[in-house]
Structure 1
Amino acid sequence: MASKVNSSNSDFMNSGDATWILTSSFIIFTMQTGFGLLESASIRKKNEVSMMLRNCICPLFSGIAYWTSAYGLSVARESEESGFFTNGNFFVDSSEPEMGALFASFIFRSSLSATTTTIASGAMAERASFTGYYLFSFWNTIFLALPSHWVWSKNGFLRKMNVVDIAGCLSVYFTGGLAALISTIYLKPRHGRFEKSVISPLAFGNFVRTRKTDPFVMNSPTNVLVGTYMLWWGSLGLNMGSTFGVSAQKWKYAARASIATMISTVAGGTNALLLSYFTKRGKFDIMLFATGLLSSSVAISGGCSLYKPWEAFVIGLIASSLGITCINILKKLHIDDPSNMIAIHLPASVFGMLAVSLIVEEDKLLLKSYGQSGLLRGGSINFLWAQFEALLFTGAWVISTTCLMLFLIDKIFHLRISDEEESRGCNLLDHNYDYKAMDDNLLPQMFSLAHSSFMSARNVTRGRMEAKRSFNKVVKALGFINSLKGLVDEKTIDSLKQERAKNISINWSHA
């Protein structure tokens, strides 16, 4: 018989709470579709199918990892909980009396874990091998599950420091965004991504070969927007579901989380549109809009059920600006972020964790802030320091484990594909599927076809002009002949007239 789960999120759960948690979990799971659309649409068409399939298989390997080991390491059995990791329920199962709370907790946390792992996939797009990626998904799930235990379980060492993370700002978005950054630095930029050959300060001392022309454009702006909508929708489910129920006043916090999320994303999306309009000379850039809106949904998650609407508005504005600014910083550092996963999640999550310790008021109803107020509300600087320490500890863990995973996978299975394979595209490389459409891999053929068509058209035009010239020559020749004919006819008639007159005169003389 499985032992009872000793998690603060599952304490005192009733049927209404379980229904709320399960419904929220299914909404969170739809974020996988949003990530798939956004990531596959923001890269070149020759990699689109492979990227979407990778987003599909991510929940597979992430789910296996979470069921077999990650849940047991992050959620303890009763009286078996430690501050760093646990010896919990591996290969999750439960007895009938306790299966409701356990399984609801498992499905909710596994949905969050899959989201964390998927964030890194966008940063690895177009150059990571298929085998390397799904091995990374499996091990990444196990290692990055531990921060959720540190901050959410009763005996987690960050929880004992009174670190506040309501909806995964630290344990989901920060860990995923930082893993994405380490992954893309390790893999180095896609071949020909930037303008000129430089040594990137974050590229492990290797030359980054680049070219002036930048053909790395999104293949479907429409799907980028659809994916953004689905992630927007999913963030609402995540933030509201993080109350982990609706009983005992929790429904009030769910309502406040919903309004805070909406106000923050409305502010972030509007700010992104305005920044795009002024920086792109009156145009509205799709990726800037998506980055700004989603950055605001990340930042608000840190204290979504504690913020007032005006506070959420300010957080959305700042987070949106940070995400858009990060895009340009990454380009200057020659860090290749194909789907803006780093720009969306990393700066906004850091800001979101620190914002909680600056502006929230003490929560006296459910003690979600652990009796603390933000520094700008008259609270202690210890609150801000605890949030900062949480970022440092979690960052150190993510960097070390991600580097270790990437190194081992690369040495054993070869993580990065070759330049030739990258040029052919992962659709053809992994699935023997190729698009016969506009693609930088098909540009030579397209240019050749266009040149042939142009030459054919020019030859036809030349033929028509030559025919016209010949026709004009014929017309002129006929005209000349006709003029000569007329001249001959006139001379003949005159000679005949003269001959006739001569004959007449001779006849008269003989008479």
Structure 2
Amino acid sequence: MDVIFLMNSLWVMLGAILVIFMLGGFILLEAGSTRMKNAGHIAGKTIFTFGLASLVFWAVGFGFIFGDNGNFLVGLSQFFYSGAQIEGMNLSSTVFFVFQLAFAGIAITIALGGFAERAKLSVYLIFTVLFSALIYPVIAHWIWGGGWLAEHGKQDFAGSTVVHLTGAMAALAATILLKPRIGKFNKDGSANNIYGHNQVFTALGVLVLWVGWFGFNAGSTVAVDDGFFGYVALNTNLAAAAGSVSALLISWIVLGKSDVPTMLNGALAGLVAITASCAFVDTWAAVVIGFIAGLLVFYSARFFEKRKIDDPIYALSVHGVAGVWGTLSTGFFATPELATVGLPGLFYGGGFTQLGVQFMGVAVSGAYAFAVSFVILLLAKKLLNGLRVTEEEEIMGLDLSEHGSYGYPEVFLPKDEKLNA
């Protein structure tokens, strides 16, 4: 067997493991950014929904993205994927399948961030199945599977649009329909801070995600023979670094204090933004892209809060706004040497053509993800007699109301029960 085939397979398998391990980062990030009475629920539903999404991706998702005999909208083969080698692929197709499955798992995890602290567990179940079958695979096919946006030269190397914007627009639909958490907004429209219970968890979650992103972006080269994955990793790290610094500085300037959650979100925003462009831009551009993403995440979070949109883990700002900026950035910064897909950007003599393609991709993909998510959730609302737990259950916390046990029993149990916990 060819050595390059084996090395490519090994590299992409390592990338898949890193991306799946990002779920641990999301558990820490989301649990740390919310209240301890919901921590066990958040951790458990992340594992449960990844398992469910994996089965749906095996059954239909992979086929809708990469199946043959399809059209400009979806693929139409490879359903219930059997593990057969796909012709023309210079690595193990089963490894490629696991890698793509990991991306689908991250997309649904981002989407479900908009449900945090108030949605019924049954809503997670229904939405995960339908998102993983009807939303994510369709957009992924359009851009990565040879669909109509791919034919236009849409640049999205590792998923600023496919994964992050798609998940964020689904989260937006959820936040609108679920409405804000109890106590988030006052009658006069002013917002109250609902603090996360563990900033250390949040910071550790960001670090796990940062490391996992090397699998996300550099792994998307799906090859080792030219060593290009190292360049992609370099751009990824530079953007994350610039985003963390710019977010900290802008919060310090505006608020008078350097806000830790903002800084952490800035690092993630830099990572999200560079995900589309990491293989297409020079290193200096990666710094600029990440730096701007850090500024955007600060102001967009304030923008959404003023409009009474309760986004507990900042999915709309970190994955949505930064995802849009990252996708558009290739239309400015893609170089003639690196633009293996599409055309060079505006600043490299490519004119507005690629920027227009990027904008079209953002608009259509975002609109599709939002509209279908909204319809799914409206139907689920009728089917389940509401999307949201009762007021009493929300105040009690979803650990107890949905699972019958606490994530932190030593804190919440009566004294006599603590002794037996």
- Residue 330 of structure 1 and its aligned partner are, at CA, apart by 1.1
| Aligned residue number for residue 325 of structure 2 | 351
Is the aligned partner of 1:263 residue 2:244?
no
Shift of 1:262: 0.9
Indicate the residue corresponding to 1:233 in structure 2.
Answer: 211
Q: Aligned match of 2:198 in 196, 220, 226?
A: 220
Asked whether the 8 Å contact 2:85–2:93 carries over to 1, the reply is no
Cα pair 2:108 2:131 within 8 Å, conserved:
yes
Aligned residue in 1 for 2:405: 433
* Deviation for aligned residue 1:279: 3.2
Q: Which amino acid aligns with 1:319?
A: A
* SS of residue in 2 equivalent to 1:14: helix
Corresponding residue of 2:269: 295
Residue number in structure 2 paired with 1:207: none
8 Å contact kept, 2:86–2:93: no
Q: Is residue 2:278 matched to residue 1:304?
A: yes
> Match for 2:389 among 410, 417, 427?
417
Structure 2 residue 20 is matched with structure 1 residue 20 = no
Deviation at 1:255, TM superposition (A): 1.5
Structure 2 distance, partners of 1:368, 1:54, is 39
Q: 1:404 aligns with which of 372, 375, 379?
A: 375
**Which of 314, 320, 325 is the matching residue for 2:299?**
325
CA distance in 1, matches of 2:356, 2:117: 39
Listed one character per residue, the Cα deviations across residues 390-428 of structure 1 (whole Å, up to 9, x for unaligned) are 112112211221011101111112321111111111011
Aligned residue identity for 1:23: L
Shift of 1:162: 0.7
- Alignment map for 1:370-381 (pairs within 5 Å): 370=342, 372-381=343-352
- Quick one: which amino acid aligns to residue 347 of structure 2? L
RMSD of Structure 2 on Structure 1 (CA): 2.2
Question: Unaligned stretches of 5+ in structure 2?
Answer: 415-421
Question: Of 352, 358, 368, which aligns to 1:387?
Answer: 358
**1: distance between equivalents of 2:4 and 2:100?**
15
Note the residue ranges of structure 1 that are not aligned, 5 or more in a row. 1-11, 199-209, 443-511
Name the aligned partner's letter for residue 377 of structure 2: L
Name the structure 2 match of 1:148: 140
Matches within 5 A, 1:457-496: none
Which of 65, 69, 86 matches 1:74? 65
Q: 2:41–2:399: 8 Å Cα contact kept in structure 1?
A: yes
Amino acid at match of 1:195: N
Q: Give the corresponding residue for 1:243.
A: 221
Offset of residue 299 of structure 1: 0.4
Contact 1:36–1:51 at 8 Å: present in 2 too?
yes
Residues 1:38 and 1:85: Cα distance change in structure 2 (over 3 Å): same
Question: Would the aligned equivalents of 2:246 and 2:292 in 1 still touch at CA under 8 Å?
Answer: no
Question: What is the DSSP-based 3-state SS (H/G/I as helix, E as strand, rest coil) of the residue aligned with 2:335?
Answer: coil
Confirm or deny: 8 A CA contact 2:251 2:298 kept in the other structure.
no
Cα shift at 1:433: 1.8
Q: Distance in 2 between matches of 1:278 and 1:288?
A: 12
Does structure 2 conserve the Cα–Cα contact (< 8 Å) formed by 1:74 and 1:88?
no
Q: Hey, what's the Cα distance between the residues in 2 that align with 1:167 and 1:111?
A: 12
Q: Which has the larger radius of gyration?
A: 1
1:109 corresponds to which of 100, 104, 108: 100
1:65 matched to 2:69? The reply is: no
Distance, in Å, in 1 between the alignment partners of 2:144 and 2:85 is 25
Instruction: Write out per-residue CA displacement over residues 156-205 of structure 1, whole angstroms, 9 at most, x where no aligned residue.
Output: 1001101111011110011011111111111100112112255xxxxxxx
The answer to whether the aligner puts 1:334 opposite 2:308 as a matched pair is yes
**Identity, % of aligned positions:** 29
Shift of 1:234: 1.2
Q: Which moved more, 1:94-103 or 1:24-33?
A: 94-103
Aligned partner of residue 242 in structure 1, secondary structure:
helix
Give, as a single letter, the amino acid of the residue that structure 2 aligns with 1:146.
V
Partner of 2:119, secondary structure, is: coil
Contact 2:172/2:370 (CA < 8 Å) preserved in 1?
no
> 1:354 touches 1:384 (CA, 8 Å); kept in 2?
yes
CA distance in 1, matches of 2:411, 2:138: 44
Q: 2:221 aligns to what SS in structure 1?
A: coil
- Contact 2:280 2:335 (C-alpha < 8 Å) held by counterparts: yes
Amino acid at match of 2:121: F
Are residues 215 and 349 of structure 1, via their aligned partners in 2, closer, same or farther at CA, if it must alter by over 3 Å?
Answer: closer
